[in-house]
Amino acid sequence: MLHGHGDDAYRYKHEIRADFSTNVWYGGEPAGLKEHLFSQWHLVQKYPEVLAESLSEQVAQHYHLKPAQVLISNGTTESIYLVAQAFRGKRTTIATPAFAEYEDACRMHQHQVAFMPWDELYNIPKLETDLLFICNPNNPTGSVFFPLEALIAGNPQTLFVLDEAFIEFTLSIETAVPLLSRYENLLILRSMTKAFTIPGLRLGYIAAHEKRIDRLRDHKFPWSVNALAIEAGKFIFDNYELLQLPVWQLLKDKEAFATQLQLTGVKVHDSHTHFFLAETAQGTAAELKQYLVEQHGILIRDASNFRDLNETHFRVATLAPAQNQVLIQALTTWNKHCS
C-alpha cells in the first residue's frame, strides 16, 4: 500500500494544526540529536556501512545478544518486506486487523496468505501455518497478546514474526527479546522511529536466532540505512535510559481523552497504548477525515482500509491535552454539521 497510511498531511493543501493520524510520539526528537547529526554531516560524503554493522553491535550489546542476531533496517516496513522475501512462498497467517504491509509484502512474494482474527489466537493452541505475523501491541487496535510464550512454545513448526513497533507505548507487556535465548521460531521487528520521533530518517532492526538473520541478510541489499540514520541510532542507544517516554502520563492523558471523545457520541475501543480505534456516530470515517482537514486543520487516520474494519472506523493517537481538546471541539461541531 503506497497510500492510505497515516501522517499523509503532504497530500493536503490545508495547514494541519494537529496530527492525530500517526502513532509517533508527539514530543519531538530526543534533545541533542539534531546537534549530534549536524556534527556528523561529513559522513554523507562517503558511503555508509553496508549493513550498519556498528549499530548492530550496539543494539546486540544493549539486549545481551550476539551481533549476528541483529540486522539493522530502513524502518519496520523494510523489515516486513525482507521477511516476506526471505520466506517466499510459505503458508503465512496474519492476525487481524493488522498493518496492511504484512499482506502486501506476502502477496508480492507469493505467500499463501490466510487471516485469523486477533481474539482467535487465544483459542487455537496449534497453528497450521509456516509464519504468523502478529503486532504486539497491535496496530490499529492497541490490543496486547499476553500468552505469547505459550503460543510460541506450543508451535515450534511456526515462525512467529512479532512486530514490536509500539512496545514503548504500553505498560501492559514488555519486549519479547529475552525469549530469543529459548526459541528459534521467533523473529522480532523493532522500530526506532516512533518512540524517538524520527520517522523521516527510517530506522529499525530485526532480532532473531543467528540462522534466521543469516537467511534475511542473504536477501538484503547494501546501504539501505543511511549514514545519518546510523548515527541517530547510535546516539539513541548511547543515551537510551535518558530518552524513555513518559508512558505513564501519556496513558493517563489517553484515558481522559478517550472519555471526552465518548461524550461526543464517538464509540471508543479499549487500548493498551496511546492510540486507539474509534467509530463515527454519524457519517463515514473518510467523510469525517475530509471535514476535519478542511474545516479545522486536523488529521485523523481513516482506518476503513484495515482488514476486518469498516467505513466508520478511524484511529487517533493521543497528543498534548490542549491539542486533544481541539479534536473534541471539532467533533462536537461535526455532530451539528451532520444533524
pTM score, two decimals? 0.94
Strands in 150-284 per DSSP E: 159-163, 186-191, 204-208, 267-268, 275-279
Average pLDDT over residues 180-205: 96
Asked if residue 330 has pLDDT above 80, the reply is: yes
Cα–Cα distance between 138 and 169 in angstroms, integer? 11
Residue 1 placed within a domain = no
Asked if residue 280 has pLDDT above 70, the reply is: yes
Q: Which of 243, 258, 284 is the last residue of a domain?
A: 243
Cα-based distances in Å from 52 to 59, 82, 329? 11, 16, 46
Q: Are residues 91 and 178 in the same domain?
A: yes
- pLDDT score for 124: 74
Q: Are residues 69 and 197 in the same domain?
A: yes
- Among 297, 269, 319, 230, smallest CA distance to 50 is for 230
Average pLDDT over residues 96-106: 94
CATH number at residue 291: 3.90.1150.10
Joined together, the cell numbers standing for residue 194 give 516512533
Instruction: Report the domain count for the chain.
Output: 2
Q: Which of 174, 208, 243 is the last residue of a domain?
A: 243
Q: Are residues 91 and 68 in the same domain?
A: yes
Q: Are residues 238 and 261 in the same domain?
A: no
Q: Which of 189, 215, 243 is the last residue of a domain?
A: 243
Percent of the chain whose predicted confidence (pLDDT) is above 70:
96
Q: Are residues 226 and 239 in the same domain?
A: yes
- pLDDT score for 336: 74
In terms of residue numbers, what domain contains 132? 33-243
Q: Are residues 86 and 179 in the same domain?
A: yes
Question: Model confidence at 132, in pLDDT bands (50, 70, 90)?
Answer: very high
Q: Are residues 219 and 260 in the same domain?
A: no
Enumerate residues 6+ apart whose C-beta is below 8 A from 289.
Answer: 299, 300, 301, 302, 314
Residue type, 88: R
Contact (Cβ atoms closer than 8 angstroms) between residue 292 and residue 266: no
The full length of the chain comes to: 339
Residue 252 host element (H or E): helix 247-263
Residue 159 placed within a domain = yes
Q: Are residues 211 and 264 in the same domain?
A: no
- pLDDT score for 16: 82
Question: Over the stretch 58-87, which tens digit does the pLDDT of each residue have?
Answer: 999 999 999 999 999 999 999 999 999 999
